[in-house]
Structure 1
Amino acid sequence: MIEDMFPRQLHPYWPKLQEKTRQWLLEKRLMPADKVREYADGLCYTDLMAGYYTSAPDEVLQAIADYSAWFFIWDDRHDRDIVHRRPADWRRLRYRLHTALDAPRHHLHHPAPLVAGFADSVLRLYSFLPGTWNRRFARHFHAVIEAYDREFRNRITGHIPKVEEYLALRRHTFAHWIWTDLLEPSAGRELPDRVRKHPAYRRPALLSQEFAAWYNDLCSLPKEIAGDEVHNLGISLITHEALTLEEAVDEVRRRVEKCIRDFLDAERDALRFADELADGTVLGRELGAAVRACVGSMRNWFSAVYWFHHESGRYMVDNWDDRSTPPYVNNEAAGEK
């Protein structure tokens, strides 16, 4: 369905993007040189962003890609803190990220690489749009940090959320609203609330993110079962709905396919909405063009996520020496000794 309905796109800046993100990871000490050489390109983090925000200015895409690479490394650190039972380390990092989000300039030289790298990427993202957008982004990411804390506690205690509880938490741990917020600097303008909160815009935005989260669950299920995870739609279905593994996989796939069909309907409504906004005034034309660009990126998310999961070394657990330990996270940023 994806290959037929969502042709793959890639930002022309991608080769340079890949090179500069590798350099940034080294400069910020987020991965050691040997891990960058061996794994950075194969993890396809830049491919994912270059396939999503295809109309973004180069400097915007670079800031998003570096932030995205940081996000994956933070996710790995979170996982290792759980696996190695390091609640004090996690609480310390959680506090520092909250603080850096509100005052990134004051954390650019923080001794912890994850904090300094986060501050750098956030400060760059804050440079593109007004303070109202920055405050919204910060509010949304504060919620992401707290969702990661709930996930930490769930995994430490072995609590597997019920399906609806899991889906609500997943919207934050997958950072639905963060990736949606970043559509706006990619399109070159902040959208007013009356546009951003309109159902014709909000529905396709949510569907594109739900697809990505559930497709991620589908593809990462072997990795997460091997790692004793508790946060996966398939695991919730098996535990609380008494489904077999095969039945759970079928149910997640059914939800994914429904997201695709629903998005195609919602996309048409969103494009009509963009046409209505373009009312002949300068502001109307600008808003209509911005919404059209954002909806185009929402469409790109389907193919970007699809190819990422089939090409990234992040999901090739059968090639790992230890199926529960990703080879690319045994580094200082993940707190390993």
Structure 2
Amino acid sequence: MPVFSHSTSSTTTAAAIPPTLSLPVIEAAFPRRLHPYWPRLQERTRSWLLEKHLMPTDKVEEYADDLCYTDLMAGYYLGAPDEVLQAIADYSAWFFVWDDRHDRDVVHGRPAAWRRLRSRLHWALDSPRDHLHHPDPLVAGLADSMVRLYSFLGRRWNARFARHFHAVIEAYDREFHNRTNGIVPKVEEYLELRRLTFAHWIWSDLLEPSAGQELPTAVRKHPAYRRAALLSQEFAAWYNDLCSLPKELAGNEVHNLGISLVRHEGLTLEEAIREVRRRVEQCVLEFLSVEKEALRFADSLEDGTVRGKKLGDAVRACVGNMRNWFSSVYWFHHESGRYMVDSWDDRSTPPYVNNETAGEK
């Protein structure tokens, strides 16, 4: 049977999930839904990748749909206006391409190329209109994404998003340093870095344009709301670590919770896998508890005014989409070709990357 009614696969059977990665609580308690705009979203993001030259034509045609990048976003930001979801999905696809470029710069020993890209991304983030026609497609693609994302809410939200993404770029630089020097971060150091390289607060920021309203600082920093947001992202990052461990071991990676546990806590690989899984499951259980508090907080915002009603509705929409992130992330990891390392000719080289020329412009 299909995982959900608007199946994103050419087949009608759900993905087979290995026992070590299976989470019955997700399958039972987090029904998967998909934004009705998804078919157009997939088509337009595919066209955007081609238009912006972010992936070679043959790679887009062969791999783009099977990578399921649009499925991930269409299962997360439900209720978003179509143009908001499209901008988010394009940005998300850009993010994956950037992550691949970063990886290839490490693998091929291109520190100068990485430093140039890092600086240009900072500039494009702050002044995107000045970089729309930059010769490096990654810079121009980020600029295009930012012009669109910055158009939905106000200056304060834009400044917050930029601040959060500047920190992500710098975290990628720290990861570049660690990988090129073979440094495996200690567990707590890794967890702190992971919150940035996974862009926890970026994806949480994007809940707001999806809900059509910027949330006041006091609302975003309310303990229940902030904890629910963090748990949804921690689940995603750690489950990603669990699923991508074979790929990252094959690629001599150093950034994975399992790898840190083996190196610094003395665990065997099997023990590390069990520990990462335990942490993932704990995130789910704790979210189910704090979600109730966050929804009660949303109800408390309704003070009989129009503003209070809109604010309560916006918080409920954001918390609802935090919940959607669990199922979307879960199924993405079992449907996307990004993690099907056993099907690659070379387990250390993803077939969808432009392995030779990326970063050379």
Query: TM > 0.5 between the two?
Result: yes
What amino acid is the match of 1:280? G
Q: Which residue of 64, 67, 71 corresponds with 1:43?
A: 67
Q: Deviations over 1:205-245 (max 9, x none)?
A: 00000000000000000000000000000000000001001
The structure 1 segments of at least 4 consecutive aligned residues displaced by more than 3 Å after TM superposition are none
Name the counterpart of 1:298: 322
Aligned twin of 2:242: 218
Contact 2:247 2:341 in 1 (8 A): yes
- Superposed, which structure 2 residues align to 1:1-337 within 5 Å? 1-330=25-354, 334-335=358-359
Shift of 1:255: 0.2
Distance in structure 1 (CA, Å) of the matches to 2:238 and 2:109: 27
Paired residue secondary structure (2:185): coil
Deviation at 1:282, TM superposition (A): 1.1
CA contact under 8 A between 2:56 and 2:354: conserved in structure 1? no
Structure 1 residue identity aligned to 2:104: R
Partner Cα distance (1:32, 1:236) in 2: 35
Higher RCO structure (Cα 8 Å, ≥6 apart): 1
Between the aligned partners of 2:355 and 2:312, the Cα distance in structure 1 is 46
Deviation, structure 1 residue 279: 1.2
| AA in 1 matched with 2:103 | D
TM-score (norm 2): 0.92
One-letter code of the match for 1:195? Answer: V
Q: Separation in 1 of the partners of 2:159 and 2:356?
A: 31
Corresponding residue SS for 1:144:
helix
Distance change in 2, residues 1:108/1:168 (3 Å): same
Name the aligned partner's letter for residue 78 of structure 2.
T
- What is the aligned partner in structure 1 of residue 12 from structure 2? none
Between Structure 1 and Structure 2, the one with more helix by share is 1
The CA distance in 2 between the partners of 1:331 and 1:54, in whole Å, is: 34
* Aligned-pair Cα RMSD in Å: 1.0
Query: Does the CA-based 8 Å contact 1:77-1:333 persist in structure 2?
Result: no
Q: For residue 211 of structure 1, what is the amino acid of its counterpart?
A: F
Q: Answer whether contact 1:31 1:332 (CA < 8 A) is retained.
A: no
User: Structure 2 counterpart of 1:92, which letter?
Assistant: R
Q: How far does residue 334 in structure 1 lie from its aligned partner after superposition?
A: 2.6
Q: C-alpha displacement at 1:330, in angstroms? A: 2.1
Which letter does structure 2 place at the counterpart of 1:107? H
Tell me the alpha carbon deviations over residues 89-146 of structure 1, each in whole angstroms, 9 at most, x when there is no partner: 0000000000000000000000100000010011100000001000000000000000
CA-CA distance at 1:33 after TM superposition: 1.1
CA distance in 2, matches of 1:331, 1:245: 29
Cα distance change of structure 1 residues 311 and 333 upon mapping to structure 2, 3 Å threshold: farther
- Percent pairwise identity: 80
Residues in 1 aligned to 2:261 and 2:147: alpha-carbon distance in whole angstroms: 40
What SS does structure 1 have at the residue aligned with 2:78? coil
CA distance in 2, matches of 1:125, 1:229: 32
Q: What is the CA–CA distance in structure 1 between the aligned matches of 2:248 and 2:316, rounded to whole Å?
A: 37
- Tell me how far apart the structure 2 counterparts of residues 7 and 183 of structure 1 sit (CA, whole Å): 19
Separation in 1 of the partners of 2:131 and 2:260?
Answer: 38
Q: Is the 8 A contact 2:114 2:359 kept in 1?
A: no
CA contact (8 A) 1:212 1:302 kept: yes
Give me the TM-score of the superposition, normalised by structure 1: 0.99
> In the TM superposition, what is the alpha-carbon distance from 1:335 to its structure 2 partner?
3.1
* Distance of 2:355 and 2:299 partners within structure 1: 50
